[in-house]
Every structure is written in C-alpha cells, then in structure tokens.
C-alpha cells in the first residue's frame, strides 16, 4: 500500500521496525558539539535534581525511574552523537556528587556510579541499533534492563562493604526491587520515546 504524504510533501514519521531511525543511523547533528554537551549535561542535572527534590513515601523502589529514564531516553534519541547517554549520566552523577558533598563507599556513591552505568548501557543498546522489531518493544525493554542496574549496584556495594551499608529497598531481598525497577524503567523509556516521536512529528508537520 502506498504511503500517504502530507500537503507539504513531508512523509509522516513511522515507528515500525523497518522505518524507525535509531540515533547514529541518520543525519548528523545540527548542534555544535559544545552546545549539545551542555544540553545533555543539563538534562542529567535536571534528572538528579528531580530525584533529590521529590521523595514520596510510596514504598515502591525505583519510582524515580519514570522521570529519569524518560529524560535519559529522550536525550539519547534526540542526539545523533555517540556517548549521549553517558554524558547525560555524567551530568546526573555530577549533580549527585554536589548533593552528597563528596565521595565515599556509601549509597550516594552507588547512585553516582549507577547514573553513569545506566547512560553507558543505554548508549550500547540504542545507538546505531540494528534491532529488527518495533521501537515500542525495544525501547521500554531497554529501559527496564537499564533501571534494573540500580538495585544490582546497591547489592554489590552491600556485598563488598559492611553491615553499616543499609539500603531500605533491599531489606527484603533483591527480587522485588528488580521487578519494580524494571516496571518503572520501562514506563519511563516508553514516555521518553513518545515525547521524542511527538516532537519529531511536530517538527515535520
């Protein structure tokens, strides 16, 4: 079936596995590198600021993954340069360092490391992707995997540290936190994808 073309001659964006343009597979960025780096760092700082500013007693480990993965995924999809996720994670880690007031073998340092690892892994799974199925499946799946890194890092810190390290979300084991982090991570990445598609459609209309 022939694809419809709008009155101004622009084809509407598609999201099928054969048409979605993964970052790095299309045209180069129009932004100057220093400006793009500042935007990506700022996105990470914003995410970390939201994490520190809004702490709700929901008893649901990982609920901040909704805004964090939405921002991280959106930054990764918008940028056509390699390492966009890592730079965004570095921005979040830098903000976390400022909030923490320094390094230490503690939960705040675990959060800094988590931000950077999440950005790097998101880069690896999305940049120049050759996935052959829908972005609406792959991106939320990536978000789930990426956000599950958080309880794994915390658990590693506990294993390598002492009993003084105490993460409330891990008191009853790691299975439940892994499940909730996967859910919130998938939700956040799906939200980031929808925002990306919405802004791209508006630019092309």
Helix H or strand E encompassing 204: helix 175-204
The reported pLDDT for the residue numbered 43 is 97
Distances (CA, A) of 107 to 111, 112, 161, 166: 6, 9, 11, 8
pLDDT in tens, 33-84: 999 999 999 999 999 999 888 877 777 888 999 999 999 999 999 999 999 9
Nearest residue to 107 via CA among 71, 150, 65: 150
pLDDT, tens digit (0-9, with 9 covering 90-100), for 1-28:
444 444 555 444 444 444 688 888 777 7
pLDDT over 60 (residue 152)? yes
- Return the structure tokens found at 72: 């991280």
pTM of the model: 0.83
Quote the tokens at residue 26: 């299309």
pLDDT, one tens digit per residue, over 168-185 is: 566 677 889 999 999 999
Integer Cα distance of 113 and 32 in angstroms: 28
CA dihedral 23, 26, 32, 36 (to 10 degrees): -10
Sequence-distant (≥ 6) Cβ neighbours of residue 179 within 8 angstroms: none
Which are the contacts of 20, defined by CB distance < 8 A and separation ≥ 6?
Answer: 14, 134, 135
């Amino acid at each position: 079936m022939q694809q419809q073309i709008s009155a101004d001659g622009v084809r509407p964006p598609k999201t099928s596995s054969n048409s979605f343009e993964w970052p790095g597979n299309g045209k180069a960025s129009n932004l100057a590198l220093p400006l793009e780096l500042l935007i990506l760092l700022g996105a990470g700082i914003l995410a970390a600021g939201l994490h520190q500013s809004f702490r709700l007693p929901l008893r649901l480990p990982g609920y901040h993954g909704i805004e964090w993965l939405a921002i991280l995924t959106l930054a990764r999809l918008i940028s056509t340069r390699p390492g966009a996720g890592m730079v965004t994670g570095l921005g979040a880690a830098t903000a976390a360092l400022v909030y923490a007031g320094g390094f230490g073998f503690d939960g705040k340092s675990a959060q800094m490391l988590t931000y950077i690892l999440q950005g790097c892994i998101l880069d690896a799974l999305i940049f120049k992707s050759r996935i052959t199925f829908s972005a609406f499946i792959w991106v939320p799946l990536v978000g789930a995997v990426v956000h599950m890194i958080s309880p794994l890092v915390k658990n590693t810190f506990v294993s390598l540290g002492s009993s003084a390290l105490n993460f409330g979300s891990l008191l009853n084991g790691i299975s439940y936190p892994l499940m909730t982090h996967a859910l919130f991570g998938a939700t956040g990445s799906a939200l980031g994808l929808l925002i990306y598609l919405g802004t791209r459609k508006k630019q092309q209309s």
